[in-house]
Chain A
Amino acid sequence: GSLMMISARAFGDNAQMKEHHYTGPVEHKFSPYAFNGGTVLAVAGEDFALVASDTRLSEGYGIHSRDSPKCYKLTDTTVIGCSGFHGDCLTLTKIIEARLKMYKHSNNKNMTSGAIAAMLSTILYGKRFFPYYVYNIIGGLDEEGRGAVYSFDPVGSYQRDTYKAGGSASAMLQPLLDNQIGFKNMENVEQVPLTLEKAVQLVKDVFISAAERDVYTGDALKICIITKEGVREEIMPLRKD
């Protein structure tokens, strides 16, 4: 439709080429943000939690690094995944780790997952007027040993979920997780609880699909598996193109 109109208008009344309309020189204001891509995913099970992320760091059309995972281990029971602007991810994790140490020194115990989530919410909201451009997802075990996932928006709104995808491919992954883990929109299906093996396999399949369709996701997948024994890591290669 519009393409035809432009070409029709290119020839004016006298069948002479008219100038195409263009908006003129555009002034770009300095932006303190950049988008570095990456996808993060977390799943909570009965007695485990998974936090997975791809390891590609990109900006615009280029790839900065193929080995930049987005999961950061905070305690023996909590892992955080941060995607968005890498500069803010680094600073935010540095601040969280410092606050964890402060808590440990004043209270003589480690912070629980729920407490870390509540603290992160206030840290993020403290910069409400100049936000951290980071999509956070915390995965870990709660005080009773059950899996917990807390998902955040860039300014600190959070809630506890069973599963959540964040980052560049989140809109593609979330509906798939809704269907496979949440059994949404499925009729007459037996809702079996998720086992660790099944969850890991699902996460791998889901990231392979994401790497197919999202340019910012790929290279490798790193999964942090949190159980009462501690945090274990698994790495799997993904598409590199």
Chain B
Amino acid sequence: MALQDVCGLHNSPLFPQWSAPLSRSFMPENSTHLSGGGIHGEAFSTRLPGRGGLSPLEFYMPIAEYLTESPINFGQTSLTSAPTKLLEIDHLHPSLPSISLPPPTPFPVSPSVPLPFTLSHGTTTLGFAFQGGVIAAADTRSSCSGLVACPASPKVLPIHSHLVGTTSGTSADCALWKRILARELRLYQLRHHRRLSTGGAAKLLSHMLHPFKGTELCVAATLCGWDGDDEKHEQPITEKHANTPTNQMTASNSIVRSRSRICGPRVIYVCSDGLRLQGELFSVGSGSPYAYSILDSSVYWGMSVQEATEVAREAVYRATYRDAYSGNNVDLYHVTAKGWRRRERENLKEEYYREKERERRVIAY
């Protein structure tokens, strides 16, 4: 039934006996379902126990010709587009053990449907690591080419107890992919009895986004997390790192040793273009140049939690001051060995008035 196909009834894992295997003959001619389920899913599940071969999310990919050639001919000339054949769902992608990816699209730059609306964009987000953990901060304005679609959208999303991700780009893409990532990490945790590291999570997200490279998906996330099994491993590390500014030589050795133990704060930038970078400080979004100016001058490894919070807040504030697409409030999360802690959302409107007041007093004297 058409409605069953669209609702995903055949993919429901609860009642496998209800669903007929997905075969080519069931699919309507002019569309194609990009799913890893069905016959190939079954083949997959015998090789890879656990997932059952389902793709992260079933996507409907419109075929180009359907959109350039109208079913009703008004004498339009058809645009020359690369001929697309039906997707070759035959070859499988065993790139990742825990999930099966949809096969790569044969039309890398698909002429997608011309949308009559714009999607939300524009932001300032930042994340940096220091001796006391990781700070992730962002503004809360979600704009849709000129209109503020939402003045209070959360851009720092917790993924699990020790990992938060900042989101920049299209809000729907970021929200959904974070949700998919959280689900995959939870499954990993249940199967392997330990949390996946930040680096692993970043690699997973990057690989999940890879099949959509070239499409209009836009996700630029900074994953900020704390890796480590339990608290007693963290104690010696924080002491060593606190010594960093005083003794560079021995400190760098200790840093190398602690990095190889894969423990401690971690900040990794993942982008839908395929970029995946590890670093100590990242700022993403239209307001990032302004945030960088504050962060580059004030962030250092040995700073205290209080200082780090101040700097992050100031950086977002300065960015909202100058960037039209950032504004409203600032959200701040602090990730330590004990997990993430959220600072009360602060409305920056008050801060503008406070600053004007300070300026007025300075000029008066």
Q: A residues touching B (Cβ–Cβ < 8 Å)? A: 27, 29-33, 35, 94-95, 98-99, 102, 106, 121-122, 124-131, 133, 151, 153-159, 171
Contact = CB atoms under 8 A, between A and B. Distances in A.
Interface string B307-337: 0000000000000000000000000000000
A94 B216 CA distance: 28
Given A33-B116, A130-B113, A133-B116, A156 B175 contact: yes
16 contacts: A30-B67, A30-B69, A30-B70, A121-B179, A126-B59, A127-B59, A128-B176, A129-B59, A129-B61, A129-B62, A129-B110, A129-B113, A153-B120, A153-B172, A157-B176, A171-B147
Contacts of A126: 57-60
B171 A102 contact: no
Given A29-B79, A125-B172, A153-B149, A95 B59 contact: no
B220 to A, nearest CB: 15
B175 A121 contact: yes
B292 to A, nearest CB: 27
Contacts of A133: 115-117
Given A153-B172, A157-B120, A130 B60 contact: yes
A32 B110 contact: no
B62 A130 contact: yes
A95 B4 CA distance: 9
B68 A125 contact: no
B217 A128 contact: yes
B7 interface: yes
Nearest to B110: A129
Contacts of B79: 29
A159 B113 contact: no
Contacts of B116: 31, 33, 35, 133
B58 to A, nearest CB: 6
B39 interface: no
Contact of B14 (A35, A106, A131, A159): A106
A27 B76 contact: yes
Contacts of B179: 121
Interface in B105-122: 110, 112-117, 119-120
B258 interface: no
Contacts of B76: 27, 29-30
Smallest CB-CB A-B distances: 5 pairs: A157-B172, A30-B70, A155-B172, A157-B171, A130-B62
A128 B3 contact: no
A56 to B, nearest CB: 19
Q: Which range contains the number of B residues in contact with the other chain?
A: 35 or more
Interface in B154-184: 154, 170-176, 179
A175 B219 CA distance: 29
B215 A129 contact: yes
Contacts of A106: 12, 14-15
B175 A102 contact: no
B27 interface: no
A31 B176 contact: no
Interface in B175-221: 175-176, 179, 215-217
A158 B150 CA distance: 10
A194 to B, nearest CB: 18
Contacts of A121: 175-176, 179
Given A95-B3, A129-B110, A130-B113, A159 B153 contact: yes
Contacts of B62: 129-130
B68 A29 contact: yes
A140 to B, nearest CB: 20
Contacts of A30: 67-70, 72, 76
Contact of A157 (B60, B110, B175, B217): B175
A156 B12 CA distance: 21
A235 to B, nearest CB: 29
Contact of A153 (B12, B113, B119): B119
B57 A125 contact: yes
Contacts of B215: 129
Interface string B90-132: 0000000000000000000010111111011000000000000
B218 to A, nearest CB: 11
Please indicate which of the listed interface residues B57, B116, B149 has the most CB atoms of chain A within 10 Å of its own CB: B116
A128 B9 CA distance: 20
Contacts of A122: 57, 176
A147 B15 CA distance: 34
B176 A156 contact: yes
A129 B102 CA distance: 15
A142 B173 CA distance: 26
A159 B167 CA distance: 15
A102 B7 contact: yes
Contact of A156 (B68, B69, B172, B216): B172
Nearest to A171: B147
Given A94-B3, A95-B6, 8 more contacts: A27-B76, A35-B116, A99-B7, A102-B7, A126-B58, A127-B60, A155-B170, A156-B175
Nearest to A157: B172
